[in-house]
Structure 1
Amino acid sequence: MKDEEDDNIIPNDDENNSEENQLDDNQDGDDSEEIISVNAKNFEGQHFYENQEEEGEDVITKVTGMYKDWFLDYASYVILERAVPAIEDGFKPVQRRIMHSLKELDDGRYNKVANVVGHTMQYHPHGDASIGDAMVQIGQKDLLIDCQGNWGNILTGDGAAASRYIEARLSKFALEVLYSPKITDWGVSYDGRRAEPNNLPVKFPLLLAQGAEGIAVGLSTKVLPHNFNELIDASIKILKGKPFTLYPDFMTQGIADVSNYNDGLRGGRVRVRAKIAQLDKNTLVITQIPFSTNTTTLIDSILKANDKGKIKIKKIEDNTAADVEILIHLFPGVSPDKTIDALFAFTACETSVAPLGCVIEDNKPLFIGVSEMLRISTHRTEDLLRQELEIQLEELKNKWHFSTLEKIFIREEMYIDFKLYSDRESLYKYLYDRFEPFKKSFVREINDDDLQRLTQIPMIRITRFDSDKADDFISKLEDEMKEVEHHLANLTDFAIAYFTKLKEKYGKGRERQTELRVFDNVEATKVVLRNTKLYVNREEGFVGTSLKKDEYLTDCSDIDDVIVFLRDGKMLVTKVDAKTFVGKDIIHVAIFDKSDKRTIYNMMYRDGKSGPSYIKRFNVSGVTRDKPYDLTNETAGSQVVYFSHNPNGEAEVITILLRQVGTIKKLKFDIDFAKLAIKGRASKGNLVTKYPIKKIELKEKGISTLLPRKVWFDDTVKRLNVDARGELLGEFKPSDKILVISQSGKLKVIIPELSTHFDEDMIVLEKFNPKKPISAIYYDGEKERYYLKRFLVETDKEESFITDHPNSQLEIVSTDYRPVAQLIFAKVKGVQKEDLHIDVEDFIAVKGFKALGNQLTTDKLKQVNLLDPLPYEEPVEEVPEKPELDEDDSVETELDDDGQIGLVLD
């Protein structure tokens, strides 16, 4: 960078050294044109003026060359001196200068931030505002600066008070880790008046602990903050040669999905969510917010989504102080689970952060991952420790050397003959000769400086010299030298001990703030609030939200799709709009969900104007929007004669009446859709009859013909799914439900909806069996006794089955038929009572939900455990057989050669 700066200075002519012919380094690009004069052309080797032309007394300078050189200089300056941190110490220049100024001002007391800013301006050639802002950012990270006063709030986004009202001093951690003047790489300040550090000797991965963000010319950097203790643990693993992983940690807490972190390199992405819980059925509470947001921006995004109709909230309260608390009140009937998902989908409750690891190394930008950053920092720390030890050893040797000289000098009474020598040279020759017999015992050669110090020893010190104390002091120095030499010989172990000491000293209270979890993907169409109404004009073939005079269909949102079926057998999926023509003679319209595989359509159609009739069952999943699909055999004149939409795969029984044609004897028969296989929408279907149909009647509403749906629980995302991820809960029919029990002693029975959110303290999640008793041992805070109760669930509502006292707590809960509990008693006065095993079924009968239960013991318990349950054979429920149809109502069918259902005609 020095070479680039030299190119921008006009060299002085030998005959003219005036300042008028120089271009000031500190002038901005816009002002530089004013400095250019006609005389500047006389200077040799200047690329600024190669494109100049003279027209009379005026000089025309072409911009091409100026832009090329000045822009590159500007870009280099911003990258190296403003926006991107150095890999050596993790600081940007302004941050490094602030920390240097704080050290110069440090006397253990607080300093006004305004004073620190002014002091920093001696090193930083920019305004006080940028220095003050940078200092506040360092202080808010609560690591290097001990702050006093109102420094703002990262949770609410409130700014700090004016710099004249707040104070700062270096933290103990900063004093221990950042500074070591003897090994600091020093340079000269911008005006040449003072010395400033080129890099501070930071013995800690500070860049990764604090994070960094900056936008330069042509590049940017975004290094996410990481956990203090985890960085130290990873550094120790590096020194031991063990593998490690690093993931970001944010002061705003929240929940993060780092599965695509990519080691902090370009292309990686971290998804961060707020922590949202259900306070009650009409209230949500946000207790943690995502990184890069604050409560103000978060609330603004929620209100904006509400105004757009994406979510529906009654009101929002911000009670944030030291901790985040945002209450979201919902209207009655609004689903809390869907609202939580909608908050993630449409507001800043979920944000995506793209890391980009860019640092400065050897005056060049370098793109590396966080693992490599930590390796560089760890090995640099090890090297800095080596330099400090070497300097310490050298200082100890010098102390030992002079102490030994002093002892010999006084013991041999060399000072007595000083009066015989009138000049320094002769005196030094005398001392060199006297020390010659002891030369082999010294760690280095004696020099004139040593002799100078000896000659300046006060006489009072000589007369009071204690040889024993001198020997003890020299022995102590020798022990210290051996210790330092041992550390140098075992430098890696010394560095590990250094990091371990840092963690013990400063790691308390710096545990991980952000919970790591894998997120599920929230589909916007499933959680968006249906805030508008959909209408249909069946005859004219229009569907839309503006047809308010026509038939109301359902509520919808502006991002929904609708599926339309026409009488001629055509099907179309299109986006919700104000008014859309889909085709005349509409027989069915509904909101379309492409992931719905349980909705089955039962259809019968006539092939052509007078052809045979076919019957089919099908599901619609993957389609192309606005593309018409023909569900018939694509014969002209085909028409749908029967159609039903079945959300759970129901299969009804229909009665078909034929027209009297020829010698047909049986004009009436039944068709059961349950006997048909579910095929693709493009299938031709099974043949019903070759004769014309007069009428079709619904004889019996159907039940679901689909197999019970298997539901799994994925503990990593805390959500239900049907994709075989996690633990299988069971096979669920439409009437089946799930039992949820939490550690707080509450239980509820819910429908297994995939959008359901589960609390962090959930301890039981299983398929609900209403005949299966629940056994629980709990501590009653009011009576200070342990109780055992056994009950059946009596309601679907969430209720607590332990007492309401604040000290009451649930010990164990079991849903086994015959559980066995183990009571481990606390030792009282040195006496240990034997453990007690309890057969819960024998101990207590099944009682009501509100019953207190039976008292277990009056003795103090240390622990309560569940053992393996006793064997129990669960009764199998008999499934009643479906009653057979009367002979008059049934139809005899057989399969044709092509696998179709054909009628058996007499």
Structure 2
Amino acid sequence: MNQETPDTTLGLSNVNHLERLYDGWFLDYASYVILDRAVPYFEDGLKPVQRRILHSMFENHDGRYQKVATIVGRTMAYHPHGDASIGDALVGLGQKNLLIDTQGNWGNPYTGDRAAAPRYIEGRLTPFAVDVVFNPETTEWIPSYDGRSEEPVTLPVKFPLLLAQGVDGIAVGLSTSILPHNFRELCEASIACLRGKKFTLYPDFFTGGIIDVTDYNDGQRGGKVKVRAKIEKVDNKTLAIREIPYGTTTVSLIESIVKANDKGKIKIKHVDDNTSQGVEILVHLQPGTDPQVAIDALYAFTDCEKSLSPCTCVIIDKHPKFVGVSDILKLNTEHTVKLLEWELANELKHLEDKWHMTTLEKIFIEKEVYEVIKKAKDREQIIRLVREGLTPYLKRLHRQTVTDEEIGKLIEIPIRRISHYDREKADQLLKELEESIATCKYNQEHIIDYAVNHFKNILKKYGEGKERRTQIAEFGKVNAVHVALANQKLYVNRKEGFVGTGMKKEEYLFDVSEYDDLIVFKADGSFKVVKVSDKDFVGKDIILVEKFNKDDERHIYNVIHQDGKDGYAYIKRFNVGGVTRDKDYYMGKNKPGSKILYMSSNMNGEAEVVEVILKPRPRIKLNFEVDFSEVEVKGRGALGNIVSKYPVKTVKRLRKGVSTLGARVLYFDAPSGIVSTQKKGDCLGEFGENDKLLIIKQDGSARVHTMADPILVGSNIKYLHKYDPAQVFTVLYFEGSNFNYMVKRFNLEGCPMTTEFSVVSDHKDTKLIELFATDDARELMEYQVGREVQKEELDLTEIAEVKGYKALGSKFTAKKIKRVSRISPADPFSDGSGESEGSSEDPSLF
């Protein structure tokens, strides 16, 4: 009986079969992508395509350049993918300037320009790659994908290549992002690791720039670094960017600058890109733009500052693992030690085999063992007779056995070589071999010292020109509110309770930026904080709208309010402090009928005198004065002190007040370049409302700032102090126009109060060396006189007279100056007085 075969074309059995296939295929695919495409192995730090490229280049390495098209074609014998992926990986390796010596247009990593076609460019392995990356004897091999040849499992790299080059890869379910590190620092860290000492590694980028590694977290998940471009002020109208953040190109950076300008976040005229071998982007500013504010705006609104999130995932024992860069360096160092041990073992075997064969040859010739060959009839008899002739002398050998292969080599020695045998030369060779064997054994016994010397040799041989390019610094986050342009107009409809930038038919208040917060007070005694928007309902009967800064502790509101319809009148002074946006807060207890009777906003805690006028009432005084200076400043939630139990008709201000908060204590936060009352950074002392702040930068530029909170002063600060026009400064500087060292003494009477100026000449080669703000201005000068170095201690106050800040100064020597060293102690930021002079004038509001 014939059984019918079920039709499974669309049946359940076929579905189950497909399901099993997909289950297995996905796991196979995920494993393949992780292990064989995206994630590097810790041993050599390479992805498979990179490893195959280098292997094919080494197979054909003869010291000459090879066309990239040829390299790609040869690599395809090992790599089961197209030529495009191989070519891109090859160009990426070449642009890192470590393993491949390039010739031709390999693209520009600064601009993002692509490389020329593979047939037009060439490359070869660098001496470093040949020396450190390859050794067939210490390489584990596997068949290639088609079985026609062998390829390395990993290359025997004796250097932490993974950390030097960095890598990015996206696999199935995970990714890796390892930032590049400095070549020299990696060698030094490996040496420290071998010696059991602590070490710390931070990224270093070929693009240079500045990096904040505060949250680097050893490169592990959850960490981050902030990178910045280096922006220099060429003049008051031009900024120059000569180093860009890692991960950007000049094209993308310029696009972000133009985009920020189009949105009104920064003001620039135009941008010039002069990048070639090095980066040069010139940013031309609009007239009246403060260069320091423009620099910080570039960091806040463009790609001049970026945040990078490392995620260190590598293949260890054929499994992906997340480890820190310190652990990777330790693994690389241990792996290097194992490779060196393997190399020493191979070298020792080669040396011992050569010593063994050289000794056999010496016995064979000197003892005339070769004479037995005449008696032999065939090869087997020759080998037997030679073995018998060597037997009496085997005790001289380290390995007292002789193979047929070794005897075969002896009997094939030409007669000419036997007749010209040089015993002294043979003895010298044996002596050298014995010394090499002893050295090799010594290195095996002292493998750690040998490994240390290995890294020292790498550092000495290949470390020149590989100094750190990325400056490590701590810089705070630029607050967008401080640098954003107020390029939008704010309007209000007080009665209906709307504020926004799109209500152009309503009452205009002031200009704002999109980053500003607003605080809105209403007649019923409630207030809230909102973001600037096109149109926002905040509540009817608005009485006051202001920009809000939660960190401004000196902004005090003076209020007299009525708590409830028939409630008492209360007086209070308060600072708002931290709040939740879009949440209503209240002067009192939010009783129905509550209202504000009087209110003033005081940027520096001023306290005025007002007159309270009561509604007519028998036997009650209807008006009296109230001095806000007698009221203590409390929190925003405080009800306040009772002013009157009786209904108040109105409140009028009689006299302006002065601040009750005392002088400001200012602090300089160097990472963010901000002077403020926030207790962060170096204390500058107390400042009154009429005091000014003087800054002098390392390039000699200076500026006098009127009192504000905060004050954006930037970086590279040489001197930061309360401004005193009579203060005498002493400056030692190199004058670029005449190539002389000059000394000048000056005060700042008549200097600009609103614009930047310079205390040295504006020549491009002029350099400020030392600045003294006290009468102690001593320098140790070292002069080069012929081959002799002469030293002299100078009091600079005796060299030049006190003149205006524009004076050129005095040349004090014709000798060639080799070095100058400051003897006088550095000038402190604060004068230490802790006092500020009072003023009878009204404090200026800001």
Superposition TM-score, scaled by structure 2 size: 0.92
Greater alpha carbon shift after TM alignment, 704-713 vs 141-150: 704-713
Match for 2:274 among 301, 316, 319? 319
Question: Is the Cα–Cα contact under 8 Å of residues 615 and 688 in structure 1 kept in the other structure?
Answer: yes
| 2:776 counterpart of 1:819 | yes
Question: Is the Cα–Cα contact under 8 Å of residues 539 and 584 in structure 1 kept in the other structure?
Answer: yes
| 2:134 counterpart of 1:179 | yes
| Paired AA for residue 168 in structure 2 | E
Greater alpha carbon shift after TM alignment, 107-116 vs 329-338: 329-338
Task: Name the SS for the 1:812 alignment partner.
Answer: strand
Aligned to 1:229: 184
Greater alpha carbon shift after TM alignment, 246-255 vs 768-777: 768-777
Question: Is the Cα–Cα contact under 8 Å of residues 695 and 719 in structure 2 kept in the other structure?
Answer: yes
Q: Which string of whole-angstrom CA distances, capped at 9 and with x for unpartnered residues, describes residues 303-340 of structure 1?
A: 33333444343322222222222223333344444443
Partner Cα separation in structure 1 for residue 796 and residue 804 of structure 2:
19
After superposition, the Cα gap between the structure-2 partners of 1:858 and 1:232, relative to the gap in structure 1 and judged at 3 Å, is closer
| Paired AA for residue 109 in structure 1 | R
Partner Cα separation in structure 2 for residue 74 and residue 255 of structure 1:
40
> What's the offset of the Cα at 1:128?
0.4
Partner Cα separation in structure 1 for residue 795 and residue 476 of structure 2:
42
> What's the offset of the Cα at 1:851?
2.7
After superposition, the Cα gap between the structure-2 partners of 1:429 and 1:561, relative to the gap in structure 1 and judged at 3 Å, is same
Match for 2:595 among 633, 639, 663? 639
Partner Cα separation in structure 2 for residue 95 and residue 786 of structure 1:
54
| 2:83 counterpart of 1:128 | yes
| 2:198 counterpart of 1:240 | no
Greater alpha carbon shift after TM alignment, 557-566 vs 433-442: 557-566
After superposition, the Cα gap between the structure-2 partners of 1:262 and 1:682, relative to the gap in structure 1 and judged at 3 Å, is same
Q: Which runs of 5+ in 1 are unaligned?
A: 1-41, 43-50, 884-906
After superposition, the Cα gap between the structure-2 partners of 1:847 and 1:96, relative to the gap in structure 1 and judged at 3 Å, is same
Aligned to 1:897: none
Match for 2:579 among 614, 623, 643? 623
Question: Is the Cα–Cα contact under 8 Å of residues 188 and 195 in structure 1 kept in the other structure?
Answer: yes
| Paired AA for residue 447 in structure 2 | L
| 2:534 counterpart of 1:561 | no
Question: Is the Cα–Cα contact under 8 Å of residues 341 and 755 in structure 1 kept in the other structure?
Answer: no
Partner Cα separation in structure 2 for residue 336 and residue 806 of structure 1:
17
Question: Is the Cα–Cα contact under 8 Å of residues 783 and 791 in structure 2 kept in the other structure?
Answer: no
| Paired AA for residue 821 in structure 1 | R
Greater alpha carbon shift after TM alignment, 277-286 vs 453-462: 277-286
Partner Cα separation in structure 2 for residue 612 and residue 750 of structure 1:
45
Partner Cα separation in structure 2 for residue 205 and residue 484 of structure 1:
24
* Greater radius of gyration (CA): 1
Question: Is the Cα–Cα contact under 8 Å of residues 811 and 864 in structure 1 kept in the other structure?
Answer: no
| 2:801 counterpart of 1:835 | no
Aligned to 2:460: 504
| 2:521 counterpart of 1:521 | no
Aligned to 2:528: 572
Aligned to 1:863: 820
Greater alpha carbon shift after TM alignment, 366-375 vs 723-732: 723-732
> What's the offset of the Cα at 1:825?
5.0
Question: Is the Cα–Cα contact under 8 Å of residues 779 and 796 in structure 2 kept in the other structure?
Answer: no
Partner Cα separation in structure 2 for residue 262 and residue 825 of structure 1:
44
Match for 1:207 among 159, 162, 165? 162
| Paired AA for residue 824 in structure 2 | L
Partner Cα separation in structure 2 for residue 414 and residue 69 of structure 1:
68
Aligned to 2:148: 193
Greater alpha carbon shift after TM alignment, 793-802 vs 508-517: 793-802
Question: Is the Cα–Cα contact under 8 Å of residues 78 and 216 in structure 1 kept in the other structure?
Answer: yes
| Paired AA for residue 454 in structure 1 | L
Task: Name the SS for the 2:803 alignment partner.
Answer: coil
Which aligned pairs between 1:241-320 and structure 2 lie closer than 5 A? 241-320=196-275
| Paired AA for residue 90 in structure 1 | G
Aligned to 1:765: 720
Partner Cα separation in structure 1 for residue 503 and residue 29 of structure 2:
60
> What's the offset of the Cα at 1:394?
1.2
Question: Is the Cα–Cα contact under 8 Å of residues 812 and 866 in structure 1 kept in the other structure?
Answer: no
| Paired AA for residue 519 in structure 1 | F
Aligned to 1:901: none
Aligned to 1:90: 45
Which aligned pairs between 1:789-828 and structure 2 lie closer than 5 A? 789-793=744-748, 794-795=750-751, 796=753, 797-804=755-762, 808-816=766-774, 818-824=775-781, 826=783, 828=785
Task: Name the SS for the 1:703 alignment partner.
Answer: strand
Q: Which string of whole-angstrom CA distances, capped at 9 and with x for unpartnered residues, describes residues 150-184 of structure 1?
A: 11111111111111111111111101011111121
Task: Name the SS for the 1:82 alignment partner.
Answer: helix
Q: Which string of whole-angstrom CA distances, capped at 9 and with x for unpartnered residues, describes residues 632-682 of structure 1?
A: 3544333222111112222222234445532346x5543322222111122
After superposition, the Cα gap between the structure-2 partners of 1:441 and 1:362, relative to the gap in structure 1 and judged at 3 Å, is same
| Paired AA for residue 145 in structure 1 | I
Question: Is the Cα–Cα contact under 8 Å of residues 605 and 639 in structure 1 kept in the other structure?
Answer: yes
After superposition, the Cα gap between the structure-2 partners of 1:680 and 1:868, relative to the gap in structure 1 and judged at 3 Å, is closer
| Paired AA for residue 289 in structure 1 | I
Task: Name the SS for the 2:258 alignment partner.
Answer: helix
Aligned to 1:743: 698
Aligned to 2:651: 696
Aligned to 1:153: 108
Match for 2:488 among 532, 539, 548? 532
> What's the offset of the Cα at 1:456?
0.5
The sequence identity of aligned pairs, in percent, is 48
| Paired AA for residue 422 in structure 1 | K
| Paired AA for residue 456 in structure 1 | E
| Paired AA for residue 314 in structure 1 | K
| Paired AA for residue 783 in structure 2 | A
Aligned to 1:900: none
| Paired AA for residue 487 in structure 2 | N
> What's the offset of the Cα at 1:754?
3.8
RMSD: 2.9
After superposition, the Cα gap between the structure-2 partners of 1:758 and 1:453, relative to the gap in structure 1 and judged at 3 Å, is same
Task: Name the SS for the 1:519 alignment partner.
Answer: coil
After superposition, the Cα gap between the structure-2 partners of 1:589 and 1:179, relative to the gap in structure 1 and judged at 3 Å, is same
Partner Cα separation in structure 2 for residue 340 and residue 875 of structure 1:
32
Task: Name the SS for the 2:8 alignment partner.
Answer: strand
Task: Name the SS for the 2:530 alignment partner.
Answer: strand
Aligned to 1:603: 559
Partner Cα separation in structure 2 for residue 420 and residue 409 of structure 1:
16
Partner Cα separation in structure 1 for residue 776 and residue 408 of structure 2:
90
Task: Name the SS for the 1:314 alignment partner.
Answer: strand
After superposition, the Cα gap between the structure-2 partners of 1:594 and 1:133, relative to the gap in structure 1 and judged at 3 Å, is same
Task: Name the SS for the 1:826 alignment partner.
Answer: strand
Question: Is the Cα–Cα contact under 8 Å of residues 599 and 649 in structure 1 kept in the other structure?
Answer: yes
> What's the offset of the Cα at 1:783?
5.4
Task: Name the SS for the 1:598 alignment partner.
Answer: coil
Which aligned pairs between 1:365-380 and structure 2 lie closer than 5 A? 365-380=320-335
> What's the offset of the Cα at 1:801?
2.8
| Paired AA for residue 477 in structure 1 | L
Aligned to 2:382: 427
Question: Is the Cα–Cα contact under 8 Å of residues 570 and 641 in structure 2 kept in the other structure?
Answer: yes
| Paired AA for residue 63 in structure 1 | L
Match for 1:493 among 449, 452, 464? 449
Question: Is the Cα–Cα contact under 8 Å of residues 282 and 330 in structure 1 kept in the other structure?
Answer: yes
Aligned to 1:418: 373
Question: Is the Cα–Cα contact under 8 Å of residues 372 and 382 in structure 2 kept in the other structure?
Answer: no
Partner Cα separation in structure 2 for residue 94 and residue 72 of structure 1:
21
Partner Cα separation in structure 2 for residue 190 and residue 66 of structure 1:
22
> What's the offset of the Cα at 1:111?
0.8
| Paired AA for residue 801 in structure 1 | V
> What's the offset of the Cα at 1:258?
1.8
> What's the offset of the Cα at 1:99?
0.4
After superposition, the Cα gap between the structure-2 partners of 1:176 and 1:555, relative to the gap in structure 1 and judged at 3 Å, is same
Superposition TM-score, scaled by structure 1 size: 0.86
| 2:557 counterpart of 1:589 | no
